[in-house]
Chains A and B, each alone.
Chain A
Amino acid sequence: MPYIELESHLPGITGLLEYRKDSAQPIRDLTQYLLRGPSTLSEAERELIATVVSYGNECTFCTTAHTAAADLLIGDHETAKQVKQNIETAPVSEKMKALLTIASLTRKGGKNVSAEIIERAKAAGATDIEIHDTVLIAALFCLYNRYVDGLATALPAEVGYYDTLAERIVNHGYTRLPQGYDHLKK
């Protein structure tokens, strides 16, 4: 049971974003820009950053949702799984290994991001904007994970919910559906 009264057909983050729409707006806009806006990082790479941070923060809802989105964008179920287990041995580029490590360090606390790991990312070709966006995506998911778990939001009743959600965030993005979410009521 969530700690506050939320619409029961909207598990995880969606019920919270519908609960207070004026604070949801900049959160949605920021996410849309960071994860779907113009970037030299692919949408799949940015979803992997969201996944690795949510996993580290032990947020089941966000980890499952962003793993599903990354899987859909990448076209396999292995990459995200391996990134969660071990960044260094996962099938991603050297640049992504450095950026995912920066994201993990950011999750633990901003001061953990050392000059050495930044150097490693730059040596692997990461630009200032890529480093900036990696830190901000990681920081944003530290917000989401705490928001979702801090108010004890419900997990979906059916696992299939995550596939529908992944399809929505891949094909539609992070902005509010124009028609709202009443169609999800059973």
Chain B
Amino acid sequence: MAHINVPEGVPGIRSLVMFRPETGKYLYELAQVLLRGESTLSEAERELIAAHVSSRNQCFFCMSSHAAAARCLYGDEEALIVDEVLHDVQNAPVSDKMKALLNIAGKVQILGKEVSPEDITMARAAGATDRELHDTVLIAAAFCMYNRYVDGLASFTPTDPEAYVEMGKRMAKGYVLPQQQ
């Protein structure tokens, strides 16, 4: 049971933004611009950052749904990358740049101050640009918000992994505020 009277049976953040579309509108706009807007990081890479931070925040709903979206965007051949990153970033089959950016995202998850000049130097040495550093920090920070919103109000979290497959397909197409039921 959610802590407040949100629509029943609707999972995660969708139930919260249906309860309060006035704020939900901006939350979806932010997800859309950060995860689907113009970037030199692929949509799959950005979803990977979202899933990684959500996993570290132990937000099962956000982790499962963004992992599902990332698998969709990577495609069948590469979908396992997602599971390997969630298991162990340093040994996952992603570029050195992505490892360095995921490391920074992990530091942001703990607290802003945790990101060190060395973390930044390592990412730059692997080719990360100012804009990629900015976007990585902001995506990680945004998921520290989304994760707390979803779990802080105890929104409904499906436990069956199958429930997230369809969600991932929908999310891969973009973030659109759900309509009232």
Contacts and interface: CB of A to CB of B under 8 A. Distances in A.
A131 B4 CA distance: 8
Contacts of B19: 128, 132
A4 B130 contact: yes
Contact of B111 (A37, A102, A105, A149): A149
Interface stretch (A63-71, A89-97, A137-145): A137-145
Interface residues of A, number: 50
A78 B95 CA distance: 51
Interface stretch (B67-75, B81-89, B147-155, B163-171): B147-155
Interface of A is mostly: helix
Interface string A85-109: 0000000000000000010011101
Q: On chain B, which size bracket covers the interface?
A: 35 or more
A19 interface: yes
Contacts of B34: 23
B112 A143 contact: no
7 contacts: A4-B134, A26-B27, A107-B148, A131-B153, A139-B144, A144-B141, A147-B141
Interface of B: 3-5, 16, 19-20, 22-23, 26-27, 29-30, 33-34, 37, 57-59, 104, 107-108, 111-113, 115, 117, 120, 130-131, 133-135, 137-138, 140-142, 144-154
